[in-house]
Structure 1
Amino acid sequence: MNTLEKSSVVIAGGGSTYTPGIILMLLDHLDRFPLRKIKFYDNDEERQKVIADACELIIHKNHPEIEFLATCNPEEAFTDVDFVMAHIRVGKYKMRELDEKIPMKYGVVGQETCGPGGIAYGMRSIQGVLDLVDYMEKYSPNAWLLNYSNPAAIVAEAMRRLRPHSKILNICDMPISIENNMLEILGFEKRSDIVTKYYGLNHFGWWYDVRDKEGNDLMPKLKEYVKENGYLVQSDIDSAKQHGDNSWNETYKMAKDIYAIDPDTLPNTYLKYYLLPDTVVEHTDPNYTRANQVMDTREKEVFTACRQIVEKNEFRGDELSLDEHASYIVDLATALKFNTYARMLLIVENNGIIENFDKTAMVEVPCLVSSAGPEPLFVGTIPTFQKGMMEEQVAVEKLVVDAWMEGSYQKLWQAIALSKTVPSVTVAKQILDDLYEVNKAYWPELK
């Protein structure tokens, strides 16, 4: 690896509360992914400035050789970059709150990437990511766009159809988080210590094989643990005690209930929204959803910390937390830059990877990543249960993109009605009408 070859990156979504953690993670991995320039891009200058001022101070005090720029000008942001790291949230948390609360009015799961909330978010996200792709192709046509903006499944389907030749890769950290818990369950330290096989859609998939480097089957031990505890591990419990956030622990615990329906595989935790929607609704406060929790904790904490760093003109190191989960972004960028053939879960066009599934579906599967991009690994035939669930969900995603491209009310109604989280076409229409009313500034006009 040529460690002298440095990259220039732009983080699209510079005003996100996740950006400081990503910066700390990037700085922590400079030995394998050296940087010459970091840029921030956001369409909210005031919000970005708070995050950017603190990050600029951290970068300049620790790595003054790295050039830094925060801008709302696309030409400035996207010129001379090798990678665009995108995590935008169109409509911010105000719209996420509505995505969650409107379905809850009708007794339906309110979640930012699943069900009607995810559909609403997807209708907002498509244009936002499309703009980023177009800026990149105009100003840095050889760059890669690493997209982890949600909902990744709908965004990936839209880009497949609207920008089929673009250098965009869609990735998600949820399987990484679960695999980190698997490591703790198994007593391993690094993700490279295990080799996993997985298939599905984004936020909608299953592990069917986990082995160590010697080829020993680790699934029996994992299944035994998940059957009793889900994916909940001691470090999660300790973290919840420290930060007062038990919501993820409940999600990890519920994996045991999802696992029970198919003990041959290990499920992604997001399947709880499709297989246990009644339980999820029962345990969700319709007046205080996850968006409210985040706004009252992470949003306030990160912005307060960033302001204090700037006011004191110092960074001790404990004001912000390094987002080690985001190291998969460095893994991906490093593989593309230095041709490492890293094995990673990515969202790619099926095209026969899963033999008995729609060739045009955007599926999440292991890939080997080189400078030429991802090389998906063959999965083969999948069981009827998973195939049936995936066919229903991929139809939802395709109908959403149809609705966005055609401005079709009918197609969006069909998408919401087809979601496994929604009980009837009548409820689907009620939810759609409420969502459309609050999203008119973001969605295409529907006819």
Structure 2
Amino acid sequence: MKKQNLVVVGGGSTYTIGMIMSLIAEKEQFPLKSITFYDTDAARQERIAKASEIILREKYPELESFSYTTDKAEALTNADFVFVQIRTGGLAMREKDEQIPLKYDSVGQETCGPGGMAYGLRSIGDMIELVNDLRSFSPEAWILNYTNPAAIVAEALRREFPDDKKLLNICDMPAAIMVSYAGILGKEVFDLVPEYFGLNHFGWFTKIYDKEGNDHTDTIKRAITEDGFIPEDAEIANDPSWIKTFKQVERMVTDFPEYLPNTYLQYYLYPSEMVTKEDPENTRARQVINGRQQRVHDLADQIIADDSTANVELEVDIHGRYMIRVAASMAYNNGDIFIVMVENNGTIASLPDDAMVEVPAMITNRGPKPFTVGHISTFYKGLIEGQLAYEKLVVDAYFENSYEKALQALTLNRTVVDAPVARQILDDLIEANKDYWPDLYHQSKKLVTQ
């Protein structure tokens, strides 16, 4: 089995140590020759990298090489696989993404609604530049992209790189939900086989089988509505915000019992209710800064100070395991089935061929081979078409530098709907993002003066 050269872009991420633990746990399925971290923030990366180096020394001694750098050419040359997890603007901009919509009684969330648009318009340019650089330094590398908001990023990359067959956008949220399904059933998450359709952060499980073909869907629905639903993945199990989010699944299954929802649908189905639960002074971004980020940095500091992992508790999480299992199936043509984002091309019959949909696919060394979903009913089709139009308009706004398209996008989004409110939010987001967004900033000023 060939050993792979792996690059982690966004090496300073708070998810990276969990990724390293996952690589160690999965090293028999995805053996590595080298790991390289790349990040534009040297100080942020160094802390995580030094801790990772100690972890790898203790738990992955057969790894031939570990390095970290801010030099793009050094990092990206001769890569076999590249895992991308970048956040343009960092958590500081995420906090603005969440606070600004809340001023206008609209959902403040990092990937949904106005916050998702803001984050997406920041992410697109950096992702296009990164893919171009990667193809210059490692033309044949597999690129697995976790960068959010994945739906908007995937649509932009589809347009910019229509012929790149080794670029795959994925999200671990369906897998994180399935970890809780597995807990209900007393099974391991990778023993479950899902049927699923939708867009990223906007989809539904229609069936959950095990590998023997037994259907557990009704058992899961009954357990959720009778016993409740809790997050069980190590990264989110003790997070109060995620506990509330999983609790909301019980409400969604009661109101719309046909399918099992992605947790993010709470923002679109109950937007007014979600607004009332948020505190602009303690948004999810602030909770992450004071919570996961502080916890991970303290963990890294402890490992570095001790030059050992003896005094810390390290856990494997689904964020890393999912990415690695997908990569392994690509590398060794395993044909495993995972939920990923692909160009529709008839997979969901009711949607345009060029939609970037999220569906189960067999993962091979020739890329993903999606399973046909067929037609979907009016309620789900209507919801998806509206969200898809929003996503495409956001990407239009980026490529066309169009204030009008951005306004249309926010007006369509179920978390906003009201056009005057959409304009107020958009103008505030433009001001906040003037160092990141395309020329919407100048165009909006021009519209005011005309």
Match of 1:183 in 2: 182
Percent identity, aligned pairs only? Answer: 48
Deviations 1:354-407 (A, max 9, x none): 111111110000000110000010000001100000000000000000000011
Task: Answer yes or no: is the 8 Å Cα contact 2:175–2:318 preserved in 1.
Answer: no
Asked whether the 8 Å contact 2:233–2:318 carries over to 1, the reply is no
Residue 319 of structure 1: how far off its partner (Å): 4.3
Deviations 1:24-43 (A, max 9, x none): 11022111111111000111
Q: Which moved more, 1:171-180 or 1:300-309?
A: 300-309
Q: TM-score, normalised by structure 1?
A: 0.95
> Are the equivalent residues in 2 in contact too, given 1:332–1:344 (CA < 8 A)?
yes
Are residue 364 (structure 1) and residue 389 (structure 2) matched?
Answer: no
- CA deviation string 1:99-130 (max 9, x = no partner): 00000000001000000000100000111211
1:66 is aligned, of 60, 64, 67, to 64
Contact 2:98 2:108 in 1 (8 A): yes
* 2:255 alignment partner, SS class: coil
Q: Secondary structure at the match of 1:135?
A: helix
Contact 1:58 1:315 in 2 (8 A): yes
- Shift, 1:168, TM fit: 1.0
Residue identity matched to 1:123? L
CA distance in structure 2 between the partners assigned to 1:432 and 1:260 by the alignment: 34
Aligned equivalent of 1:94? 92
Whether 1:347 aligns to 2:344 is no
Is the contact between residue 299 and residue 312 of structure 2 (CA under 8 Å) also seen in structure 1? Answer: no
In structure 2, C-alpha distance between the alignment counterparts of 1:146 and 1:189, rounded to whole Å = 24
Normalising by structure 2, report the TM-score: 0.94
Partner amino acid for 1:275? L
1:31 aligns with 2:25: no
Query: In the superposition, relative to structure 1, how do residues 69 and 236 fare at CA in structure 2: closer, same or farther (>3 Å)?
Result: closer
Instruction: Tell me, in whole angstroms, the C-alpha distance in 2 between the residues paired with 1:435 and 1:147.
Output: 25
Report if the CA contact (8 A) 1:178-1:231 is conserved: no
Aligned position for 1:300: 294
Partners in 1 of 2:38 and 2:158 — Cα distance?
24
**Structure 2 counterpart of 1:126:** 124
Code of the aligned partner of 1:374: P
Let me know the Cα RMSD of the aligned residues: 1.7
1:47 to 40, 44, 48: 44
Shift of 1:239: 7.6
Offset, 1:230: 4.7
For 2:73 and 2:344, how far apart are their aligned partners in 1? 34
What's 1:199 paired with? 197
Any idea what SS the aligned residue of 1:260 has? Answer: helix
Q: For the residues of structure 2 that align with 1:66 and 1:114, how far apart are their CA atoms?
A: 41
Q: What whole-Å deviation, never above 9, does each CA across 1:29-82 have from its counterpart, x for those lacking one?
A: 111111111000111111111111111222234334430111111110100110
Q: Which residue of 1 aligns with 2:161?
A: 163
Q: Hey, what does 1:212 align to over in structure 2? A: 210
* Secondary structure of residue in 2 paired with 1:405: helix
SS in 2 for 1:381: coil
| Pick aligned residue for 1:111 from 109, 112, 124 | 109
Give the deviation of 1:270 after TM superposition: 0.4
C-alpha change, 1:212 and 1:30, in structure 2 (3 Å) is: closer
Residue 327 of structure 2 is matched in structure 1 by 333
Partner Cα distance (2:236, 2:260) in 1:
24
C-alpha separation between the residues in 1 aligned to 2:249 and 2:228?
Answer: 5
Label 1:78 to 1:238 Cα distance change in 2 as closer, same or farther (>3 A): closer
Count of residues paired in the alignment: 439
**Alpha-carbon distance, 1:312 to partner:** 2.0
Q: CA deviation at 1:238?
A: 13
Gaps of 5+ in 1: none
What is the CA distance between 1:215 and its match in structure 2? Answer: 2.6
Q: Is the 8 A contact 2:234 2:315 kept in 1?
A: no
| Distance of aligned partners of 1:230 and 1:129 in 2 relative to their CA distance in 1, 3 Å threshold | farther
Give the superposition deviation at 1:146.
0.3
Secondary structure of 1:395 counterpart: helix
**Do the aligned partners of 1:404 and 1:444 also contact (CA within 8 Å) in 2?**
yes
* Matched residue type, 1:264: E
Q: Is the 8 A contact 1:115 1:419 kept in 2?
A: yes
CA contact (8 A) 2:91 2:285 kept: yes
Task: Rate the CA distance shift 1:114–1:143 in 2: closer, same or farther, 3 A.
Answer: same
Q: Aligned equivalents of 1:429 and 1:157: distance in 2?
A: 24
Q: Report the CA distance between 1:301 and its aligned residue.
A: 1.6
- Asked whether the equivalents of residues 410 and 417 of structure 2 are also in contact (C-alpha less than 8 Å), the reply is no
Q: 1:199 to 1:317 in 2, by over 3 A?
A: farther
Tell me the distance in 2 between the aligned counterparts of 1:283 and 1:377: 38
- Counterpart residue number, 2:246: 252
1:338 Cα shift?
Answer: 0.3
Shift of 1:229: 4.5
